[in-house]
Amino acid sequence: MVNDPAYDIDPFWGLSEDFTIDEAAALIVGMDPAYVDRCEGDTNFERNYPGLRPTRAALVNAINAKKLRATLRYDAEERSREEIEDIFEQAYGGYGYYAHKDSLENIAYEIAAFPNWRASTVAIDDLREWLSRKRWRSAFFFPDIAESTAPASVPDYLDTNNRRYAPKLAAAVLAWQAVTDAGKRSPKAALTKWLTDHAEDFGLSANGIEEAAKVANWDTIGGPPRS
pLDDT in tens, 113-136: 678 888 999 999 999 999 988 888
pLDDT at 181 (0 to 100): 78
Whether residue 154 is predicted with pLDDT greater than 70 in this model: the reply is no
88 vs 5: which has the higher pLDDT: 5
What's the rounded Cα separation, in Å, for the pair 117 and 6?
22
Per the CB < 8 A criterion, the answer to whether 62 and 198 are in contact is: no
pLDDT at 139 (0 to 100): 86
pLDDT in tens, 7-58: 899 999 999 999 999 999 999 999 999 999 999 888 888 888 888 888 998 9
- The structure's pTM equals 0.53
What's the rounded Cα separation, in Å, for the pair 70 and 24?
12
pLDDT at 146 (0 to 100): 47
pLDDT at 180 (0 to 100): 78
pLDDT at 221 (0 to 100): 75
- Kindly state the percentage of the chain with pLDDT values over 70: 75
Whether residue 109 is predicted with pLDDT greater than 70 in this model: the reply is no
pLDDT at 38 (0 to 100): 92
Question: What is the CA 207 to chain-centroid distance, rounded?
Answer: 17
Q: Is 49 exposed, middle or buried (0-12, 13-18, 19+ CB in 10 A)?
A: buried
Per the CB < 8 A criterion, the answer to whether 138 and 30 are in contact is: yes
Helix H, strand E, coil C: the string for the chain is: CCCCHHHCCCHHHHHCCEEEHHHHHHHHHCCCHHHHHHHCCCCCHHHHCCCHHHHHHHHHHHHHCCCCCCECCECCCCCCHHHHHHHHHHHHCHHHHHHCHHHHHHHHHHHCCCECCCCCEEEHHHHHHHHHHCCCCCCCCCHHHHHHCCHHHCCHHHCCCCCCCCHHHHHHHHHHHHCCCCCCCCHHHHHHHHHHHCHHHHCCCHHHHHHHHHHHCCCCCCCCCCC
Please report which confidence band the pLDDT of residue 104 belongs to, taking 50, 70 and 90 as the band edges.
low
Per the CB < 8 A criterion, the answer to whether 56 and 64 are in contact is: no
Per the CB < 8 A criterion, the answer to whether 70 and 115 are in contact is: no
pLDDT at 127 (0 to 100): 95
222 vs 135: which has the higher pLDDT: 135
pLDDT in tens, 177-202: 888 777 788 999 999 999 998 888 88
Whether residue 173 is predicted with pLDDT greater than 70 in this model: the reply is yes
What's the rounded Cα separation, in Å, for the pair 26 and 164?
15
Please report which confidence band the pLDDT of residue 148 belongs to, taking 50, 70 and 90 as the band edges.
very low
